[in-house]
Structure 1
Amino acid sequence: MLEMSSSSESELYQSDSGQSAVGQSSTSSAMIWSLGTEDSVPHVSNAEVWEMYALENQARAGQPQKSSVAEVVPVSVLKSKPSKEQGRVAKTEESGDFRARPLWPRKAEYMLALMGYIIKPISLWRFVYLWLHKGGGSFFFIYTVVLLFVGIPLLFLEMAVGQRMHRNSIDAWKIIAPWAGGVGYSSFIMCFIASLYTNVVNAWIVFYLSHSFQFPVPWEKCPLLKNSSDFDPECAQTTPSVYFWYRQTLKVSDRIEDGGPVVSSLSLPFFVSWCLVGAFTIKGLKFLGKGMFILMSFSYIIFFCFFIWSLHLEGAKYGLKYLLTAKVSVVYDLRVWSIVGGQVLFDLGLGFGPIASLSSHMPQANNCLRDAFIAALVNLVTMFFVIPFVLSVLGFWATVLTHRCTEKNMETLLMLVNIGTLPPEAMPPRDLNNDPTSTYSIWLDSLTPDIKSLVLGKVSRCDREAWILRAKDGPNFAFLSFVEVASFLPRSLFWSLLFFLMLLSLSLSTMIGLMQGLLIPLQDSSSFFRKQTKLLTGGISVLLFLCGLYFTRPPGVYIIKLLREYWAPIPIIFIVICENIAVAWACGAKRFLEDLMTLAQGFTLRLYSWLWSYLTPVMLLALFVGLLVQRFTKPISYMAWESSNSTEVTRQYPSWVLFLVIILLLLVTMPIPVYLLYGLTHGIPFRPSGGDEHTKSSTSLHRRNQVMPGREAQEKEAHQDNKGK
């Protein structure tokens, strides 16, 4: 980068009396620029820096001022190194004028925001579910391979695009490949739809959290009928935790077709959830990083306590034994690889847009490849520690349920022997000691085959392993399995409160990341939105709240499952494929990587150029085709609540729901072919033009055209900021 001498710095940042000289210098720079001489580069850089700080001082003073260098067109994007002041900015060019782009106050805040968006509670539970049902250690091996060779390269790609272009998730793709401008719009729509239903999960958490202050908590016991001492018969046929989830929280309908108005008891928690999201995002980057530090630190402290606590639960060893299981055969199962591939993309949050938008506020010299590895590694390590925690909890849960099942069987056998249905030899032992399950198993094995057959025909099967494998993924673990576990423990109110606070912190972090995927492109699209950031944040929050109320209706949980599990993977993979093609084949992977200072040469350049150009497109295309075949050849179903007998039943989605899914798919993906068609009809090139300042020109000047404000100017700016405060 071109270095400015101390005399040049003092000339650029002198007092008002000396600014005329700077203006004359910048004017002559513009004249020299038009001649295309090499000597013009320092003058243009000086003019750009002067313009940037002139605009900042003008904004502070609130006085309009004409620029003498507005006509100057830069060769490359100016980059400013991070400083300790909050007023750090990066220069971007937009429509011939210059404006300052704020940078993250600290890199740690950026990394916390990125990891908060990536680490989702629902992904953690889903990871454990796949571990249990898709091969254990073999699944983890497949996940790690896909993460290293597909997930991290694509995460690095999105981060590099935002950081290199200093543009949001919409504008960056118009520069990378002019025909691919629709990719940004598709990811924006995807982010908007995901934001509608993601915060509903936070509303469920807030609802449970508000009931955690009662004693006893309402999911410990069945409610009594009004004006009666009898329990609700619907609850009596199931467990209190299941009844509270389906009937008092969701007020769920028996079918998705049943419909119904908004559940009033969820409206206030949903509103509170959006107020929390708005409070963390309304002040922009200055407060966002600090808020994410609070949320992430709080979440990990509580999780560490839960991790230690779970290892000491009774029966935890029965759950932890699944850590050592591995089915080698799943390594050769293409369906498992397909499931893992989709899970990796979802875990990293690719295709939604927030990653590129968050990275656009980082200096261009930042090593985003290292950041991608750190974010992915933290996510993987978190998942690896979640596995023993969840398995220990499931082991305890299965142990308690097995004990209760055993005690119930003993009572049943005792009654049957007393009434003469079973012979006296079937009389169970009365002393169960402290381990009824082991005592019952030893007694059962001591019976003769004929008596044992009679006994087993009269009682339920109490299998600890079957209980563990019955655990479901997604919200059902948090709202069914864990709350039931907490109800078995002393001080259940305390454990429930901590657990839902941890869940809320993690889930809010994800929702805040999605919110940035909407706010940053909108702020960059209009000077009005840039000035009225609080109004924009409030308006988007209100809009999403009103639209999201649709998912708080009785069939809302069925629709959320449909969108999250069956609909979202298809447009996400399609968007990521288009992103990969735009960088690797339209812009050129090697050319793009050479523009990044940290990857100018060596093995890394060749490796990621090859991955982007060949491996990841092939893997994504195979995943996309496999997913389409699976979706359109097998009927999709959902687990519904049958209120008549208080059980979960499997139902198929009706045809009109599938039609709506197709409409949503077209809505999200159509901007890409429409923009491509527009480019073809208007002669927009497939590759970016050679004169684009972000591509070709920046390659030659990127490493030697870095300009930093002098220390004196930085101190002056900090002094003015303090006076303004």
Structure 2
Amino acid sequence: MAGNDNKAFEAGEEDKSGRVIEMESLKLDPVTIEQRRIRDGKHTLMGKYVEESDVARPAWDNQIQFLLACISYAVGLGNVWRFPYLAQTYGGGAFLIPYLIMLVIEGVPLFLIELAVGQRLRQGAIGTWNKFHPYLGGIGIGSMIVSALVGLYYNMIIAWCFWYLCNSFQYPLPYSSCPLNNQSTGYIEECEQSSFTEYFWYRETLDVSASIDETGGQKWWMVICLILSWTFVWLCMIRGIESSGKVMYFTATFPYLVLTIFLIRGLTLPGASDGVAYLFSPDLSVLAQPRVWLDAATQIFFSLGLAFGGVIAFASYNPLKQDCQRDALIIALTNSFTSIYSSLVIFSILGFRAYEQNNRCLDGNIETLSNYFDLPEGNITYENYKDEVKRLNTTDEVDALNLTYCDINEILSEASQGTGLAFIVFTEGIINMPGSPFWSVLFFLMLLSLGLGSMFGTIEGVVTPLCDLGIKGIPKPALTGMICLVSCVVGLLFTCGAGNYWLNIFNDYAGSIPLLVIAFFEIVAVAWLYGIKEFNEDLKWMIGRPKSIMGWILFYYFRICWVFISPVALLVVLIAFVYDIASSTLDYDAWIGDGTIESLEYPWYGLLVIYLLLLLPTLPIPVVWLYQLIRKCTKHITFDSILADKSWASEDYKESMKFWKMAKDPPNADKLSIDS
């Protein structure tokens, strides 16, 4: 599909948008440059910088493969655990309101910009922004650095999934009970003071240190899993999109099969209705908290993969004329639907878990009441518990027993962030399900496919820009292998006893402020520096004019967002994020040896790494700008780029626009037909 379009483009065949122009009526030389630009798309500033070598770029097998690749990239682990965690934290369904608003004003408009510029210029992030202007090359470098940093820790999470998957092929599951102590006289105290799943996660899997100051040495089982995960990524990407594109047929579709199976099973479990009701019962008072809107905005960015460079890289393998607006809507809406769909699954299982915990709590209270009042067994049940407590409490004797307060909604509101939701809370629900090993295997296979699909796009955001920079003598498979090898070696940091604390630093800060800064400069470069009118011409050439009422609504919606709403929203969120970090104490939750969690402040070197993660991806933007400015002033270099063309070589561009205007509104309409 892509190959045929590329050949047609190179050969200069008839304009695929359907325009039929009789040049004789305009009394112009049929071989003028402007006529060729009308025919092959080079009438736009952006189109003039698409070279024949760019057109001959590798391509997706078909459009479905591209859509599945983008969906696999966008739909990742964050859809399964971060979105449900945020919904659980911010009053259930109330979080959907700021999330959907941020999707409309930030997510979809920015996603379309990245798809459009990647498809039009057929370059990775660095090549794309260099073509706009060498001053803007730092935007692409920043995107590449963010992708590299996120890939470092993201593949460690995939390594954890491999570990849990391998441990799921046994019955009973190793995290379903506490292990015996060395004397076999009882259970390990640390496990009894916490829970089965917490102990297996913190002690058996991570063997976590008591603080970030205690390195704890490398854990050999985690090292093996990390090497396995990076090897798997390299093998799947060894031939670029030709190999990873095939794998994405599986990674994009398998999670939906598993989620559907879990949803059917989850909804049949007791307590599932309480979990789902909690998800869709909004507490609107939380909308007054600025943090809700901040988390909604960052969730949109991380979930869609905005500003990572992966979207631009994937779009660069598209045919020159493909409806990128339709693709942006399909991918963004599918991603958001998946977040809500997976939340249904998660909350149905969490409802079952809360039901089991609530029953255990009631069992303890019922036993205490029965013993104290010498009641026969079965006299107090779950159904009549509240009535019996009220009846027995006439003399205030029940108050003296200090019964545990049992409430299923209270249990549901106990949020577990990120990895804790998947490896601690959800696994606790799995062990209470009949046939638990089967469900455990299915769940971690799903997490693997989600994680790998996102990793392919993340690494593509590093490999494609480097290839577009023209690295000589290194084949793409070797370059991909070198990136995976270096990342694996650096990622060994996460396999030590304090590795989980370092991973949380990368997770919290590598993909936060840098993404907002990069996205802000992307939208300013396209909508304000390049110009919305010029960008509109490129979109018209790629997707044609709107042909329906909905098409015109989308037309104005995107342009209003690009020029006004999205930049302002990004700037507000960015300022709020910086203020939040500057005004709060940067601390982390440490697992203490007695099974408790304690909040500790980061040491000076932890803070140094945090500031480096915030600065490294953003520094290239001003540094490259300054470097290119110095080169221009000292060496008197003339830049040949889109924005440079627009600023100082505008006469040719004005003549092009004059011709384009004549083509749309000719003197003799009966001799000129334009089918738009």
- What interval of TM-score do these two structures reach, taking the shorter chain for normalisation? 0.7 to 0.9
Q: Distance in 2 between matches of 1:301 and 1:696?
A: 54
Q: SS of the residue aligned with 2:57?
A: strand
1:466 has 2:424 as partner: no
Within 5 A, what are the aligned runs for 1:472-491?
Answer: 472-491=416-435
Secondary structure of the structure 2 residue equivalent to 1:669:
coil
> Aligned residue for 2:615?
666
Is 1:500 aligned with 2:444?
Answer: yes
Q: Deviations over 1:239-290 (max 9, x none)?
A: 1111000001011111111123221111111111112212221122223222
Is it true that 1:654 corresponds to 2:603 in the alignment? yes
CA-to-partner distance for each residue in 1:266-320, whole Å, 9 max, x for gaps? Answer: 1111111112212221122223222101122221111111111100101112212
Deviation, 1:321, is 1.6
- Mapped contact 2:79–2:342 kept (Cα < 8 A): no
Selected match of 1:581 from 508, 511, 524 = 524
Query: Which digits, 9 at most, give the CA deviation of each residue in 1:690-719, with x for residues without a partner?
Result: 36999989979999xxxxxxxxxxxxxxxx
Q: Please, which moves more after superposition, 334-343 or 691-700? A: 691-700
> How far did 1:122 drift?
2.4
- How far the C-alpha of 1:639 sits from its partner, in A, is 1.8
Q: Which residue of 2 aligns with 1:611?
A: 561
Distance 2:174 2:105 in 1: 47
Instruction: Map residues 387-466 of structure 1 onto 2, 5 A cutoff.
Output: 387-413=343-369, 417=372, 426-427=373-374, 430-431=377-378, 436-457=381-402, 459-466=403-410
Larger relative contact order, structure 1 or 2 (CA cutoff 8 Å, min sep 6): 2
**Residue 264 (structure 2) pairs with residue 318 (structure 1):** no
Q: Which runs of 5+ in 2 are unaligned?
A: 13-27, 547-551, 662-676
Q: Is the 8 A contact 1:566 1:631 kept in 2?
A: no
1:635 corresponding residue in structure 2 = 585
Specify the alignment match of 1:723 in structure 2.
none
| Residue of structure 1 equivalent to 2:124 | 168
Q: CA RMSD in A?
A: 3.3
The match for 1:351 is 307
Gaps of 5+ in 1: 14-35, 50-73, 80-90, 418-425, 704-725
Q: Give the Cα separation in 2 of the matches to 1:398 and 1:699.
A: 65
- 1:133: how far off? 2.7
Contact 2:513/2:577 (8 A) holds in 1: yes
State the TM-score, normalizing by the size of structure 1: 0.80
Of residues 472, 475, 481 in structure 2, which corresponds to 1:532? 475
Identity %: 33
- Once the two structures are TM-superposed, the CA of residue 631 in structure 1 deviates from its matched residue by 0.3
Equivalent residue number for residue 624 of structure 1: 574
Q: How many residues align?
A: 624
Q: Which has the larger radius of gyration?
A: 1
Aligned to 2:192: 236
Q: Distance in 1 between matches of 2:239 and 2:652?
A: 30
Aligned match of 2:490: 547
Query: Superposed, which structure 2 residues align to 1:105-144 within 5 Å?
Result: 105-144=61-100
Deviation of 1:568 after TM superposition, in Å, equals 2.5
- Give SS of 2:87's match: helix
Whether contact under 8 Å (2:389, 2:398) holds in the other structure is: no
Could you say if the C-alpha distance between residues 105 and 92 of structure 1 is closer, same or farther in structure 2, counting changes exceeding 3 Å? farther
User: TM-score, normalised to structure 2's length?
Assistant: 0.85
Return the alpha-carbon distance in structure 2 between the equivalents of residues 438 and 535 of structure 1.
66
CA contact (8 A) 1:444 1:452 kept: no
Contact 2:153 2:494 in 1 (8 A): yes
Question: What is the DSSP-based 3-state SS (H/G/I as helix, E as strand, rest coil) of the residue aligned with 1:446?
Answer: helix
Q: Which residue of 2 aligns with 1:569?
A: 512
Tell whether the 8 Å contact from 1:178 to 1:688 is kept in structure 2 after alignment.
Answer: no
Structure 1 residue aligned with 2:234, among 269, 278, 282?
278
Q: 1:567 to 1:437 in 2, by over 3 A?
A: farther
Q: 1:603 to 1:122 in 2, by over 3 A?
A: closer
- Work out the CA distance in 1 between the residues paired with 2:256 and 2:316: 27
**Alpha-carbon distance between aligned partners in 2 of 1:272 and 1:698, rounded to the nearest angstrom:** 55
The alignment partner of 2:173 has SS state of coil
Q: 1:254 to 1:689 in 2, by over 3 A?
A: same
Distance 2:580 2:136 in 1: 28
Aligned to 1:262: 218
- The corresponding residue for 1:309 is 265
Q: Contact conserved, 2:313 with 2:460, CA < 8 A, in 1?
A: yes
Query: Shift in Å at residue 451 of structure 1?
Result: 3.4
CA spacing shift, 1:236–1:656, aligned 2, 3 Å: same
1:518 lines up with 2:462 in the alignment: yes
Amino acid at match of 2:31: D
Q: Which moved more, 1:325-334 or 1:282-291?
A: 325-334
Aligned-partner SS, 1:369: helix
Aligned partners of 2:580 and 2:277: how far apart in 1?
Answer: 33
The CA deviation at 1:474 is: 1.0
- C-alpha deviation, 1:342, in angstroms: 1.8
